[in-house]
Amino acid sequence: MKNEISIGLLGYGTVGEGVAKILHQHKQDLQHKLGAEATIKKVLIRNKHKERDTTLDPAIFTTDIEDILNDSSLDIIIEVMGGIEDARQAIEKALKAGKQVVTANKDVMAEFGDGLLKLADEQKCDLFYEASVAGGIPIIRTLEDGLASDRITSLMGIVNGTTNFILTKMKNENMTYEAALAEATRLGYAETDPSADVDGIDAARKMVILSSLAFSTVVHLEDVSVRSMKEIQDGDLEIAAKFGYTMKMVGSSKKNEDGIEVAVEPVFLADSHPLSAVNNEFNAVYIHGDAVGETMLYGPGAGSLPTATSVVSDVIAACRNLQLGVNGKRTHASQHERVIKPYSGCFAKYFYRLLVKDDVGVLSQLTAIYSNNGVSLQSVMQHPAKVDGKAEIILLTHQISRKQHLELLKNLEGTADVISHYRIEGEDKA
């Protein structure tokens, strides 16, 4: 057994600093748990002249990644540098050098995770990535270990804190989207360019990771149906509340004998569903398994110390494996062939908010369009319109396919202007 485990840290930004802080502050506790001292020996930084408030020796900082990747004395490489291609190459090179790797990089794991995990298996190395999804929530380990005996049939989550913060402010404080986004940016929850968050790409990458793991298959980013939260219209949140729903940016993944469906989009979520109470920057993942039934994990989805906690938990796992000599013994090969459902096999209830001419017979034309598309309506109501000579009609359907939904949107052209439309989640099917 080793007396000291040497670590190379790639990146010293928000998460990297958090990792160093936890390893320093919890040094004695970790040493007791591992029977060895886990020590950061080298750190990759961009600017060697930047002043840093750190307990680390400045002599271990380097701007040359090869100083770390080529150092044979290092046992574990932690990748928290961000980006995609440089990070992917670094992880690949570290694994080929026989090092254990811990990453927080959701972008790399979503796009290249399958290949990197296969490489880790070939090299008999560990590749851990708990911090790539939902910050401080131990969702990866729960799916890999805690629920390993179960068969997961669906998972639904709020996995992007920026969009959840914005929607919380819009609902609870009547903020406009622009004002809520500005507040999220000011508090550091949103990037200067928030596109990946608000357009659903960040959440889609996380759902790729979770779906691949939960269903033991390979899911690609292009398999995810994605809608931006920028499509939410004024008044939608208030209408949702009147019908007993909360607007949430939700990632969902479902599997049955026909295949898998994955989506990220703003949805009307039933107020009775546990995810509807998840507010501000918090994340949560709601899981359904054949044996366990329903369970939910909740916690901070981002931030220096929450994310660093997940990184260090992976470091501990890698260290324990090193001490036992069992690194790389867990296989990551997918069990099932990749089968993605066509839109004709993806079913849900839908909400439509339409603007029509306030004329006799228009409602009959609308209901005829729905009927001709094989869509059964659960409820129809008129909502006060702000445009003279126009009526606002709200329709809720029973279960229909996503294909029917998209065809409806086309068929409504010429009869109605579609103000907004959303999938309905979190209530009993009907």
Q: Can you tell me the distance from the alpha carbon of 135 to that of 104, in angstroms, rounded to the nearest whole number?
A: 9
Residue among 301, 309, 300 at smallest CA distance from 19: 309
206 is catalytic: yes
Residue among 341, 335, 334 at smallest CA distance from 257: 341
For residues 418 and 351, is the Cβ–Cβ distance under 8 A? no
Residue 265's CB is within 10 A of a number of other CB atoms, namely 22
For residues 273 and 245, is the Cβ–Cβ distance under 8 A? no
Residue among 155, 47, 100, 30 at smallest CA distance from 330: 100
Q: Residue 35: left if φ>0, alpha if ψ -120 to 50, beta else—which one?
A: left
Check residue 340 and report its DSSP letter: B
Which of the residues 206, 248, 255, 341 is marked catalytic?
Answer: 206
Residue-wise DSSP of 336-368: S---BPPGGG-EEEEEEEEEEE--TTHHHHHHH
53: Cβ contacts below 8 Å, ≥ 6 apart: none
Task: Please list the active-site residues.
Answer: 206
